[in-house]
Amino acid sequence: MINYKHLHYFHAVATHGTVARAAEQLHVTAQAISMQLQVLEYQLGEALFSKKGRVLELTEAGKIVLGYAGQIFDLGNELEQAVRRGGLRTPEMLRVGICDMIAKTMAFRLLQPAREAGLAMRLICREGRFDDLMIDLTAHKLDLVISDQGLPTGGAIRGYTHLLGSSTVTVLGHPGLCMAWPGEFPQRLRNAPFLMPGADAAVHSQLNSWFEANDVRPIVVGEFDDGALLKSFARAGTGFMFASTVLADIVQAENGLQPLGTIASIVEHFYAVSVERREHHPAVRRILDKAGLVFGAQALEERPGSIERPPGSV
């Protein structure tokens, strides 16, 4: 077995170029270092240095060993720091699936409480379509899925839908686009370019129904499963878009958009889907307990959504 001290002496010689300088740095004799290097080379079956003038140069094998030695020393330092912090415990890990159409800012706000454990917490996020994420959830590849829809009642997938919160939606547009389509809201949207979320988004059908009910019928110039890409087109003035009202100020500021009006009759719901009725994972509990703060409401200890529910039902 390779001795940690052997690697330490080897690293010192590789760094300083000579046994004498390494010995002076480590406050040991040059003979002691030479003996330790011989033992290390014998154990590895390779020469680690070749002499060039007064200095020692690493052989190809020596360069490889030096790379590994650096990694070993880094791990040793991490171990030492962990012991000093009292961190010798299994790191908390949370694997979360996030549906494509969930705004990144919303996902960040909802997941932020999971990070309260600090460096002892490791958060792994995966993006994808709802159906694909549900498959990973039931296969226990994910602990939680953040989505704009819940599980349907009586479906093939067994799980539990926790309602995190709800928000109305606000229509936003580039300043130039707003000037080109003046008037009162919502009539000014008639025949105006509009950027729609993809058909998988729970709010997609609500928007279409609202357009029909208000006889505005904008021209849909694009549909996007990726919310970030949709915002990029809105930022370029390609069309109007909507955002959750609780995020509208941030979306405006980040993308240089202006608000046209709020649609009070359309409500977005945000859910956490899990395979357990009562969550025991500490990070999941923190997310569920503090989700209400994102929407300006008190979090519920036992949420109305913590039972199996059809998508979009409230």
Q: Which pLDDT score, from 0 to 100, does residue 86 have?
A: 59
- The pTM for the full model equals 0.62
User: Which range (88-97, 197-206, 233-242) has the least confidence?
Assistant: 88-97
- Closest by Cα among 83, 80, 58, 55 to 69: 58
Can you tell me which residue has the tokens 């590849």? Answer: 141
* Whole-number Å distance between alpha carbons of 267 and 69: 57
Q: Which pLDDT score, from 0 to 100, does residue 298 have?
A: 34
Residue 307 DSSP code = B
Per-residue pLDDT band at 8 (split at 50, 70, 90): confident
Q: Which pLDDT score, from 0 to 100, does residue 173 have?
A: 96
- Closest by Cα among 114, 29, 154 to 285: 114
Can you tell me which residue has the tokens 């021209």? Answer: 219
Residue 16 has pLDDT above 90, yes or no: no
pLDDT in tens, 73-124: 878 777 776 666 655 555 678 899 999 888 888 999 999 888 876 666 788 8
User: Which range (2-6, 19-23, 66-70) has the least confidence?
Assistant: 2-6
Mean pLDDT, the chain, rounded, equals 84
Residues 6+ apart with CB under 8 A from 20: 30
pLDDT in tens, 257-309: 999 999 999 999 999 998 865 567 788 888 888 888 888 743 333 333 333 33
Q: How many residues are there in the chain?
A: 314
Per-residue pLDDT band at 159 (split at 50, 70, 90): confident
User: Which range (21-25, 177-181, 203-207) has the least confidence?
Assistant: 21-25
Half-sphere exposure of 47 (CA within 13 A, CB side): 7
Q: Which pLDDT score, from 0 to 100, does residue 82 have?
A: 62
* Whole-number Å distance between alpha carbons of 251 and 213: 27
Residues 6+ apart with CB under 8 A from 105: 247, 250, 251
* Whole-number Å distance between alpha carbons of 221 and 116: 42
Q: Which pLDDT score, from 0 to 100, does residue 312 have?
A: 34
Domains of the chain, earliest start first: 4-84 (1.10.10.10), 92-164+270-294 (3.40.190.10), 166-269 (3.40.190.10)
Measured from the Cβ of residue 162, the count of other Cβ atoms closer than 10 Å reads 25
Q: Which pLDDT score, from 0 to 100, does residue 231 have?
A: 93
CB-CB contact of 128 with 101 (8 Å): no
Cis peptide before 186 (omega within 30 of 0): yes
CB-CB contact of 263 with 168 (8 Å): yes
Q: Which pLDDT score, from 0 to 100, does residue 90 have?
A: 58
User: Which range (158-167, 252-261, 272-281) has the least confidence?
Assistant: 272-281
Radius of gyration of the chain (CA): 29
Measured from the Cβ of residue 5, the count of other Cβ atoms closer than 10 Å reads 12
In the sheet that holds 241-244, the strands lie side by side as 121-128, 92-99, 144-147, 258-274, 160-173, 241-244
